Each structure stands twice: as C-alpha cells, then as structure tokens.
Structure 1
Amino acid sequence: MSSLRTVNFSSLAGIALAAGMALLSAGCNEKQAENKEVVRPVKVVEIAKMETVRRLDYSGSVKARTDMNLGFRVAGKIVERRVDIGQQVKPGDVLARIDSTDYELAVRRAEAALASTDKQVQTTALARTRAEQLLSNNVAPKSQVEQAELGYEQAVSARDTARSALAEAKNQVAYANLTSDLSGIVTAVAADVGQVVGSGTPVVTVAVDGEKEVQIAVPEMDIAQFKPGKVVKSRFWSDAALVLGGKVREVAGSADPQSRTFTVRVSLPADPRVLLGMTATIEAEAENTPFVSVPLSALAEKDGAQIVWVVDRKADTVHARPIKTGAFSDDGVRVSAGLSAGDLVVAAGTQFMNENMKVKLPSAAGEQSAAAETGDQAASGVVR
C-alpha cells in the first residue's frame, strides 16, 4: 500500500512542474510579442522636381508690319490693271486705272466756267472804273460807284470758285490712276478689269518693305504671358537652323469673336532669309508659381496645422511635415510650400502614423516615376 502511494505523489509533482514550465514559457512569449516593434507597410508618393518656367509654342505666319489696302479715291470702271501678286512696286508706280472720261469732261466744264468768270471780272472792273470817273465829274452819285465795286467783288469771288472747281476736276482725273505711295510687294488683288468700284474700295494690297513680323493667335489662358516688349524666339519650318530673336510689338485688346483668341504681333530683325508668308513658331517662356499636387488622402492634421507624413529613406521612419496648401486639382490638393523634390509622402493610412514610426516601403520593382506640377499644368503624385 505505501509503495503505491509514493508512486502517485511523484506523478502529481511531475505534472505540476510541467504545467508551471508551460505557463512560464507562455508568459515570456507574450512579453516578447509586446516588446516587438511594429513595422507598417505604407503606400507613398514621390515628389519630383518642380519647374518654375514652362514653354509656350504658337504657330503663325510672317507678315509685313504695314499692309496698304489701296483703292481709288473716285468711283469708276477699271479699264487696266498693271500689277500681279508678288510683283515689286515703287513709289509712283501706277497699279490700275479707271475710265476717266467723265472726269475729263468735268475739267473742260470747269475751264469754261473759269473763262466765263474771268470775262465777268473784266466787265465789272470796267463798270467800276466808269462809275469812279462819273463820280469825280459829279455826274453820277456815290451809290453807283459802291454798286459797281460790289459787282466787281462778286465777280472776283466767282472766279476764285471756278479756279477751285477746275483744280478739283483735274485732281479727279489724276485720281483715276491708282499709284503706290511706298515700296513693297503686291500681296492681293481684290478687283480686276471691267469691275465698277466705289471710292475707297480696296483694289490692291501692298506689303510695305521694311520690318517683318509674325502674327499668332493666343488663347485667353496664356494671353497674360504676352506683354509688349517681351523677348521671344522665332523658328521657321522652312529652315530648322534659322532661329531669330523677336519682341512682342502688339497685343490685341479684345478676343476674336469666332476663335476666342487674341492676336499677337511679334517683330523680327531684318534677315533676307525671312520671306512673307513663311510659317513660323514663336517660343516664349511663362513664369508660374511652383507647386506640387498630393492625394487628398495624404493630408493630416496635427496641433491644428495641416501636415503630411514624410518617410526618412535611411531610417525607414515617418515624420510630420507642416505644409501650405492651395486650391484643389484633379490629382488632389496643391501644395505650395513644405515639400521638395525627392520627398516620399505617405499617400494613405495617415491616421495610423506616429512620429518616428517604422514603415516598410514597397519593393523597387513596383516603383513608378513621380510628376510635379507648375502653374496650371496638371501634376501627379506617384504612388508606390
């Protein structure tokens, strides 16, 4: 009996010892689990380099600074056209003529009227002299002399009017010839022989020799970047090696009602290689306030200030970074201050972030390039 009891007590002691060891081991494992540091995987965006200058390119055509739309100063039927498009003209060259028959008849009529008034002046002069002689002999009253003097003055006025009418009629005959005032090249012909044109109707267009310029159309979103005096570059499709400097000379004050664009004229330096009608591209630089866009989910708040969590690449930890935000964009929110090129910003799960918290970045194989935004260009943060 005693031997049996001894065996039973030994078994119970062994069981108790084993249970105690198991409990002790479980407690140690739980303590180690509590002391183990949490490493949280994160999704990030990388901030690329921000550009402060963007290039604007607009195509246009080379034009003369001054285009003369020439027309007759009198109405009539065109009987001759002496120039064609592309022809060089000089001051005084006759470009076209109209039928001047009626104007020549007007000259003859004015000459006859002038001759008549000349005779009238002579007649009234004799009458005045006769009246003065009679007055000196006390034969005629003074009123007769005064009346003769008045008749003479009226005749002189009529003669002056006739002279002016004759000069005007001669001018009308001269205006029957359309002449060029300046040297240039004929760029358009709007009327031809046999056509009846009115006074001032454009018949021939002449591009005046001298300074050339490029005319471009700029949309309203970029018109603020073009001011008179702005320096630009001009490239030409006909010669890729031909690059000239230019300067904005004129900016339209209102948009074209059809295209809703503004006409801008850029002056070019003198160069014989630049011909009228060439296609040119104007290159200009637009300065903008730099900023980047980050996803809306990257924003957080700490002590009443907006922050983002930036990853320390060397330590694989996150740190709060105060930022200055602007307007919202298609990609999230624009950040104008607080971030720089190369920063890794936590893009999601910011509510789980703590200062100096260990994080795990995605593998290099899953990385994508980052994009930045300047001015009104869309920027994209890059997720990895």
Structure 2
Amino acid sequence: MFSPKATRMPISLPSIAVMTALGLMLSGCSEEKAETKEIVRPVKVVEVAGAGEARKLDYSGSVRARTEMNLGFRVAGKITERHVNIGDRVEPGDLLARIDATDYQLAVKSAEASLVAAEKQVDTTRLAKERAEQLFAKNVTSKSQLEEATLSHDQAVSTRDAAIASLDQAKNQVRYTDLKSDQNGIVTAVNADIGQVIGSGSPVVTVAVDGEKEAEIAVPEMDIAKFRPGQKVTARFWSDDGLILDGQVREVAGSADRLSRTFTVRVSLPKDQRVLLGMTATVETAGESERRVISVPLSALSEKDGRKIVWVVKRDTATVHAREIVVADFSGDGVNVTQGLQSGDIVVAAGTQFMSEDLKVKLPDTEALSAQAETQLVR
C-alpha cells in the first residue's frame, strides 16, 4: 500500500539572500518613519538684564537772557545811521540807530505855523467878543450877537489848543527818529541796516537785558507732562564739564511749535559769571520725572494684529511665544520698552519673521547668554 510522505522543496542560497535583503529594507523604512525628527530652528537671542537705573529725561538748549528787548522806531522812515554791532554793551540813553528826520522836522514847522495862525485867531475873536460885550451893555447890539462873538472866541481857543497838541506831537516824532536804549544789556541781533526803509515798530536791534539768565529747551509732546513750573532740574554745560547748576522750571509753553511740534520750556539759572549768553546747556529732570525702560535691539521688534510684540523664548521648553510690549521711544541703541519685559527674559533678536507660536528653537550656551546680558544696554 502506498503511504504518502511530506515532500521538502530544496531552498537555494540565492533565495535566502533575496528574502534577507527584503526584510532589511522593510525594517529600515519602519525605523526611518519612527526616527522622523522635530524641526528645531537656531536663533539669535539677547537676555534682558535688570533695570537697575531709571532713565532721566535730558534735553539740550541754549542760554538766553530772561528779558530780551526787540527795539524799533516808533515812526517809519529810512535808516541813516547805526551805532551798535552784535556783542556791544549798551546803557540807558545810548544812541542805537537813527532814521531820516527831514519830513518830521517839516511837520514841526507846519505845526508851528498853524499854532501862530490859531493864536492870531484867538486874539481876533477875543477883541470881537470884548466889543460885543461893551455894545450889549449899552443896548446897542442884541444878545444873539454877543453869543455869536463868544462862540467864535471859544472855537478859536479850541483850535489853538489843538494846534499846540499837534506841535507837541510833531516834536515827539522828531525825537522818535533816534532809537535809544533804556536798559543795560548786550546787543544780540541787528535786524535792519543803513539805507533800509522800515515801518513803525519793526525790530531793528535786539538787546539782552542784564540780570537773570535762563536755559531754553524744546521738549517733545510725549515728555512735556514731565515738566511743571517750579520743578527742580539740573543744568550742565558743554563748555565746562565741571559747571553744574541747580535750576528751576519757570515757564512751560501752552502750545507746541507749528513746525517742530515741540514745547518751549524755560529754566531759571542762578547767577554765575561762568554762564554766558548763547552757551549750550543740557537740562536734566529730577527723580520724579524719570522713567524706567529696557532697551532691546530694533531687529527684535515685530507687529502682530496691529500690536507691538517681541518673541520671548521659554527656557524649560525652548519654545517661542509672542509678548505684547509698550514702546516708549527709539534710540541709537534700539527700542526703549516700558512694559512687557522683565529681567531675565530671553528675546529673539534676529529672524523674527520666521517665528511662530510654540516654535521650538535652539538656544546658545549659557555662557554666551550671560555675556550678552552683561553688554545689553538697560537705562
């Protein structure tokens, strides 16, 4: 009887090699899928140092006299003489300039002639009045004739008085052709010269009156609220590093300049012989006017949904997150931030356009961050 047996197929060596290779390929694909790595972007960052000092407001200006006179003629005319130059000292009564007085002298002669005629008319009407009074007393003339003579005399007297006033006015105009100083001071500007025809009241010479000096500065609108009349400030001078004076805000302009959009602030200075007119002064505010700010590079500033932000790196997860900030102003060092950052924050300093929320980044080593924090400018 026939008994079946299991038949074994011989396996050749090439078949074994193919199967082994196929197994290795499948295993490699599985491992490649399992080992897909998360994208980690290297970034340049800065570490925010502590804001140990407060930023002081300081603005440069010039030293001026508290009182400056823009002197001009009280009558119009052509300038024939000028006796002062910029920098000259003047005293009360000194002649500064003169205009042609010919027409005003002729006006005086005309007024004198009018006065003589008015006085003659007064004499004539006075005689007529006296005669009318005598005739009325003898009942020769009527009362109306006496009243008419009296009225004519009174009118002549008024005309004479007007002629006297006109003569005085004409003489004054002749005196006004001489421009004189009425204060001690220094000539700081000459606005008209010989041969120029000027109108009444036009500035010809500017005189800085001796006495108290002030520093005049221009303050932008974002800081003008920090300056108040009576506030104590400190004044430094470029010409002398050792010259430091305590000043006081005397006047704050009520409106901004139309062109510069800044407000004029005048600071009273104590008397000091070393302070000269025109010197450059830097005015610094006192402690109550200080603002604490942190400076970060301009490249770190971004905008999201209309808000100013920076990308801050979370240390434990090495991921970036957007944080809204309040920008005070811009400087040569970068952006001055008043709110949104604190000491120890790590801010992305470059490549902010590639950042997204929770993006994983690669930070530099700790020593590099520490070195950046030491050099980071914080005012």
Tell me whether the two structures share a fold, i.e. TM-score over 0.5.
yes
Secondary structure at 1:54 match in 2: coil
Which residue identity does 1:158 align to in structure 2?
T
Is 1:93 the counterpart of 2:94? The answer is: yes
Is 1:129 the counterpart of 2:148? The answer is: no
Is 1:260 the counterpart of 2:261? The answer is: yes
Q: Percent identity?
A: 58
Q: Is the 8 A contact 1:295 1:331 kept in 2?
A: no
Which ranges in structure 2 are unaligned for 5 or more consecutive residues?
1-44, 297-308, 317-322, 328-334, 349-357, 359-364
Distance 1:229 1:86 in 2: 32
Is 1:147 the counterpart of 2:142? The answer is: no
Which ranges in structure 1 are unaligned for 5 or more consecutive residues?
1-43, 300-308, 312-324, 352-361
Q: 1:140 to 1:172 in 2, by over 3 A?
A: same
Match of residue 321 from structure 1 = none
Distance 2:295 2:277 in 1: 44
Q: 1:149 to 1:283 in 2, by over 3 A?
A: same
Match of residue 191 from structure 1 = 192
Which residue identity does 1:192 align to in structure 2?
D
1:53 CA drift (Å): 3.2
1:331 CA drift (Å): 10
Distance 1:186 1:70 in 2: 10
Is 1:54 the counterpart of 2:49? The answer is: no
1:104 CA drift (Å): 0.9
Which residue identity does 1:287 align to in structure 2?
E
Match of 1:288 among 275, 285, 291: 291
1:257 CA drift (Å): 2.4
Deviations 1:171-191 (CA, angstroms, capped at 9, x unpaired): 010000001121110111111
Q: 1:194 to 1:379 in 2, by over 3 A?
A: closer
Q: 1:237 to 1:248 in 2, by over 3 A?
A: same
Q: Over aligned residue pairs, what C-alpha RMSD do you find?
A: 3.8
Which residue identity does 1:172 align to in structure 2?
Q
Q: Is the 8 A contact 1:62 1:212 kept in 2?
A: yes
Match of residue 235 from structure 1 = 236
1:170 CA drift (Å): 0.3
Match of residue 23 from structure 1 = none
Match of residue 273 from structure 1 = 274
Q: Is the 8 A contact 1:51 1:290 kept in 2?
A: no
1:259 CA drift (Å): 2.1
Deviations 1:161-210 (CA, angstroms, capped at 9, x unpaired): 00010000000100000011211101111112222211111111111111
Match of residue 172 from structure 2 = 171
Which residue identity does 1:182 align to in structure 2?
Q
Structure 1 runs of 4+ aligned residues shifted over 4 Å read 44-48, 289-299, 325-333, 343-347, 362-366, 368-371
Q: 1:187 to 1:345 in 2, by over 3 A?
A: closer
Match of residue 81 from structure 1 = 82
Q: 1:72 to 1:155 in 2, by over 3 A?
A: same
Q: Is the 8 A contact 1:52 1:288 kept in 2?
A: no
Q: 1:332 to 1:203 in 2, by over 3 A?
A: closer
Q: 1:197 to 1:222 in 2, by over 3 A?
A: same
Match of residue 216 from structure 2 = 215
1:370 CA drift (Å): 4.4
1:220 CA drift (Å): 1.9
Q: Is the 8 A contact 1:296 1:332 kept in 2?
A: no
Distance 1:202 1:254 in 2: 24
Q: Is the 8 A contact 1:236 1:279 kept in 2?
A: yes
1:82 CA drift (Å): 1.0
Q: 1:45 to 1:90 in 2, by over 3 A?
A: closer
1:122 CA drift (Å): 1.2
Secondary structure at 1:257 match in 2: coil
1:364 CA drift (Å): 4.8
1:80 CA drift (Å): 1.1
Q: TM-score, normalised by structure 2?
A: 0.68
Which residue identity does 1:65 align to in structure 2?
R
Secondary structure at 1:62 match in 2: strand
1:78 CA drift (Å): 1.2
1:333 CA drift (Å): 10
Distance 2:77 2:121 in 1: 35
Match of residue 64 from structure 1 = 65
Match of residue 367 from structure 1 = 370
Q: Is the 8 A contact 2:294 2:338 kept in 1?
A: no
Secondary structure at 2:57 match in 1: strand
1:238 CA drift (Å): 1.4
Secondary structure at 2:156 match in 1: helix
Distance 2:345 2:257 in 1: 46
Is 1:106 the counterpart of 2:107? The answer is: yes
Match of residue 29 from structure 2 = none
Q: Is the 8 A contact 2:310 2:325 kept in 1?
A: no
Match of residue 119 from structure 2 = 118
Distance 1:266 1:130 in 2: 75
State the aligned residue count: 301
